[in-house]
């Protein structure tokens, strides 16, 4: 698991209207860390040149310097069109300081309207970071996003580029490929590229596109890590459908000795969400163009936002590499999984899943959703001293439908009852929130309570009369309470449609229902939680903050889990995992009533161990463990 934090100073570079050459946009930065700071090279978009390019804004390349990597100054143009093959603009620099010289690859525009025949890769070379004295056209064919590996690989100079980024009938899709030579100057000859292009497939990286409608492009110059070459690249979902197109940033790990070999990759880990990414010259774009590593182990990802400004985001390299490595999982499944399965007959004869959990007097109590042959949901109870091995399982449910709003009204075998419980202890009372469903109306959120002493004495007839907490005729479920009051109020999390909300309630016995959505998080288009998000287990206190595990649903209807770090109020998000922390892998998570589901309603902390209880494929119950301190460190 890893978290990507956008820099609070974003956007770190914006256009300056008093400078005509960068009056419209400054974006797609290539950053190089030096001994005294950070130098960036960026695409500067000015107004059309009334004589040279009257129909199109002119792109040139600027540079700026910053001692702290945030406040940039000394902005100046360093590359402007000179040759016919770049007369209509120089775009998207990628700069590598290699063997004592500065190499700036960029996209050269040699005609208008822009198209495959006039978009190619060029290179500027210099001995000083702001003075380039050589210029070469590199590719005789359509290509973009070329960059140089920062050191030789097996004695070779290695270049990475995206060939055929722009559609043609002969080359309808882009190819990320490697080019190798003994010296950089070998790349300057058309003969090299003619021979190379004849065998393009032999130089290509493994296909990174998941479906043919997607698009990819090299992002940053690769970074050599202990595990291999880290490549940050652009991934564009549904590229050829303007209404669905989604720009995102992904990471791949390439073999250190053979970077053509793909070790692993992430899913989309950053998508447009902030105003400077959603609004600009071209809205809804995040486009990575470089990475730098600082002394504290933080990897800075530099990117263009909305084709207008420069921005950066940071991730702990250790955790990103862990997500890309052979041991990628935050949680370890218990060897005994599944720890609860349906019995042959009775109230839990069809399915057992989505269990609440509470640690009382040295035992973990699992209040699980049980379904019988008529698809009626009740709440069963199992008890474990070590949190994994089931020591006792009651033969009858401890909670059954009692109110009209949860009694079966539809088909005699349709779903109904008390579903997906979550439980918290506040003072000497246990509060159980759950989804109440009659099989006809929209699911509703309900609450019932019982004293700790009555619960431990198995006096389950002492559950209070259930009350509804959510409004009528609204898809509002996945209720979870913060285990502490906020002031004098209860804080209730609930899911309205596809987003996770919260509301404050003065009490839980008056019949007052939630009336607003304090938004906690919403789905992130293009990411693993793009369709729906909701609470999983109730939040866990960690210092002055709260850890919340939440569930997310992908566009492929896979249920996975992520993590949030909330502040003391329980409503402000301090961090959110970019990747899922738990996902369906085992057969019992992939095959069942609903395939490809891990869904948690409970977690328990013992020492530094977090025990996560979850339903697998809406059929069985499993448990997985993780280091709580490591989760918090990743979120910090």
CATH code of 269's domain: 2.115.10.20
d(CA 543, CA 545): 6
243, with CB counted inside 10 A (0-12, 13-18, 19+), is exposed
* Domain boundary, last residue among 295, 324, 353: 324
Q: If you write DSSP's letter for every residue of 521-540 in order, what string do you get? A: E---TTSTTSSEEEE-SPPE
Say if residue 365 is in the same domain as residue 501.
yes
Q: Are residues 337 and 368 in the same domain?
A: yes
pLDDT at res. 55 = 61
Q: Extract the tokens encoding 84.
A: 């016919």
- Sheet containing 332-333: give its strands across: 332-333, 620-627, 609-616, 598-606
**Separation between Cα atoms, residue 504 and residue 514, nearest integer Å:** 8
Residue 617 near residue 594, CB atoms below 8 Å? yes
Instruction: Examine the fold and report which residue of 285, 306, 324 is the final residue of a domain before the chain moves on.
Output: 324
Low-confidence ranges of the chain (pLDDT < 70): 52-56, 327-328
Residue 6 falls within a domain, yes or no? no
Please check whether residues 29 and 117 belong to one and the same domain.
yes
Task: Give the separation between CA 469 and CA 192, rounded to whole angstroms.
Answer: 70
In this predicted model, what pLDDT tens digit does every residue of 12-41 receive, in sequence order?
Answer: 999 999 999 999 999 999 999 999 999 999
Cα 34 to Cα 17, 125, 525, 571: the distances in Å are: 29, 18, 36, 40
User: Does some domain include residue 534?
Assistant: yes
* Of 542, 545, 549, the residue nearest 500 (C-alpha): 549
Give the β-pairing of 376-384 and 416-426: parallel
Q: Which of 334, 339, 337, 369 is nearest to 601 (CA)?
A: 369
Examine residue 269 and state whether it is found in any structural domain, yes or no: yes
Task: Give the integer Cα–Cα distance in Å for 579 and 572.
Answer: 20
313 and 385 in one domain?
no
Strand-pair partners of 91 = 107
DSSP 213: T
Classify residue 49 as exposed, middle or buried by CB count within 10 Å of its CB (0-12, 13-18, 19+): middle
Q: How many domains does the chain have?
A: 2
- Examine the domain organization and report whether 544 and 402 are in the same domain: yes
pLDDT at 155: 96
Identify whether 530 is part of a domain: yes
Q: What was the pLDDT predicted at 328? A: 58
Residue 427: burial class (beta carbons within 10 Å; 0-12, 13-18, 19+): exposed
Label residue 226 exposed, middle or buried (CB < 10 Å: 0-12, 13-18, 19+).
exposed
Q: How far is the C-alpha of 142 from the C-alpha of 614, rounded, in Å?
A: 50
| Cβ-based neighbour number of residue 193 at 10 Å | 20
CB under 8 A, 24+ apart: contacts of 429-433: 430/358, 430/455, 431/481, 431/508, 432/356, 432/367, 432/379, 432/399, 432/463, 433/469, 433/479, 433/480, 433/481, 433/492
Q: Residues 397, 293: one domain?
A: no
Judgement on whether residues 175 and 232 belong to the same structural domain of the protein: yes
Q: How far apart are CA 57 and CA 355, in angstroms?
A: 59
Residue matched to tokens 């007097």: 361
Q: Which of helix, strand or coil describes residue 633? A: helix
Sole residue written with tokens 């950089």: 184
Q: Report CA 206 to chain centroid distance, whole Å.
A: 23
- 626 and 527, same structural domain? yes
- pLDDT for 22: 95
- Establish if 7 belongs to a structural domain: no
Written as six digits, the tokens of 610 are: 């977090």
Residue 327's pLDDT is 63
- Same structural domain, 504 and 614: yes
Query: 578 and 548, same structural domain?
Result: yes
Domain assignment present for residue 2? The answer is: no
- Domain assignment present for residue 278? The answer is yes
- 306 in the same domain as 338: no
Tell me, yes or no, whether 311 lies in a domain.
Answer: yes
Residue 199: count of CB within 10 angstroms of its CB: 10
Of the three residues 303, 324, 345, the one that is the final residue of a domain is: 324
Q: Are residues 338 and 320 in the same domain?
A: no
Category of 585 on φ-ψ map: left (φ > 0), alpha (ψ -120 to 50) or beta: alpha
Q: Which domain holds residue 336?
A: 332-635
């Amino acid at each position: 698991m890893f978290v990507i934090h956008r820099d609070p100073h974003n956007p770190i570079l914006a256009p300056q209207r008093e400078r005509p050459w960068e009056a419209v946009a400054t974006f797609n930065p290539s950053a190089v860390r030096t001994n005294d700071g950070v130098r960036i090279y960026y695409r500067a978009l000015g107004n059309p040149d009334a004589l040279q390019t009257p129909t199109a804004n002119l792109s040139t390349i600027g540079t700026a310097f910053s001692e702290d990597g945030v406040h940039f100054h000394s902005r100046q143009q360093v590359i402007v069109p000179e040759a016919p093959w770049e007369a209509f603009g120089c775009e998207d620099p990628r700069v590598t300081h290699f063997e004592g010289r500065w190499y700036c690859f960029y996209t050269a525009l040699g005609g208008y309207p822009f198209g495959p025949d006039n978009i190619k890769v060029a290179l500027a070379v210099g001995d000083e970071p702001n003075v380039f004295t050589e210029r070469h056209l590199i590719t005789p064919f359509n290509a973009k996003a070329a960059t140089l590996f920062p050191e030789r690989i097996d004695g070779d100079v290695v270049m990475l580029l995206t060939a055929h980024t722009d559609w043609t009938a002969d080359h309808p899709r882009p190819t990320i490929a490697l080019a190798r030579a003994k010296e950089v100057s070998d790349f300057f000859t058309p003969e090299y590229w003619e021979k190379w292009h004849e065998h393009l497939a032999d130089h290509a990286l493994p296909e990174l596109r998941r479906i043919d409608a997607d698009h990819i492009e090299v992002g940053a110059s690769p970074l050599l890590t202990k595990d291999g070459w880290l490549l940050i690249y652009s991934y564009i979902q549904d590229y050829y459908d303007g209404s669905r197109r989604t720009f995102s940033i992904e990471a791949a790990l390439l073999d250190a000795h053979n970077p053509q070999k793909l070790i692993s990759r992430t899913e989309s880990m950053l998508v447009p969400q902030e105003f400077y990414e959603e609004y600009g010259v071209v809205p809804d774009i995040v486009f990575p163009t470089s990475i730098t590593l600082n002394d504290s182990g933080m990897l800075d990802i530099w990117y263009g936002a909305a084709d207008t400004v420069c921005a950066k985001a940071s991730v702990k390299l250790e955790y990103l590499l862990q997500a890309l490595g052979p041991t990628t999982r935050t949680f370890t499944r218990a060897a005994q999984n599944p720890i609860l399965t349906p019995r042959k007959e009775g109230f839990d004869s069809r399915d057992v899943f989505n269990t609440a959990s509470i640690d009382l007097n040295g035992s973990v109590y699992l209040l699980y959703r049980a379904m019988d042959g008529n698809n009626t949901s009740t709440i069963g109870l199992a008890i474990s001293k070590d949190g994994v091995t089931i020591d006792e399982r009651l033969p009858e449910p401890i909670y059954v439908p009692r109110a009209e709003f949860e009694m079966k009204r539809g088909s005699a075998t349709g779903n109904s009852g008390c579903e997906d419980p979550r439980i918290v202890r506040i003072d000497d009372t246990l509060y159980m929130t759950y989804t109440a469903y009659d099989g006809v109306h929209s699911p509703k959120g309900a609450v019932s309570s019982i004293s700790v002493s009555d619960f431990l004495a198995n006096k389950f007839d002492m559950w209070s009369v259930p009350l509804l907490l959510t409004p009528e005729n609204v898809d509002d479920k996945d209720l979870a309470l913060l285990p502490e009051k906020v002031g004098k109020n209860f804080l209730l999390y609930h899911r309205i449609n596809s987003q996770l909300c919260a509301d404050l309630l003065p009490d839980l016995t008056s019949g007052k229902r939630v009336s607003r959505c304090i938004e906690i998080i919403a789905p992130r288009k293009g990411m693993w939680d793009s369709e729906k998000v909701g609470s999983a287990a109730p939040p866990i206190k960690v210092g002055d903050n709260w850890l919340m595990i939440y569930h997310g649903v992908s566009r492929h209807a896979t249920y996975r889990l992520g993590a949030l770090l909330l502040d003391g109020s329980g409503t402000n998000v301090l961090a959110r995992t970019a990747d899922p922390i738990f996902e369906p892998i085992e057969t019992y998570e992939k095959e069942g009533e609903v395939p490809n589901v891990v869904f948690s309603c409970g977690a328990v902390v013992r020492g530094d161990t977090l025990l996560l209880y979850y339903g697998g494929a809406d059929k069985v119950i499993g448990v997985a463990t993780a280091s709580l301190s490591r989760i918090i460190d990743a979120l910090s």
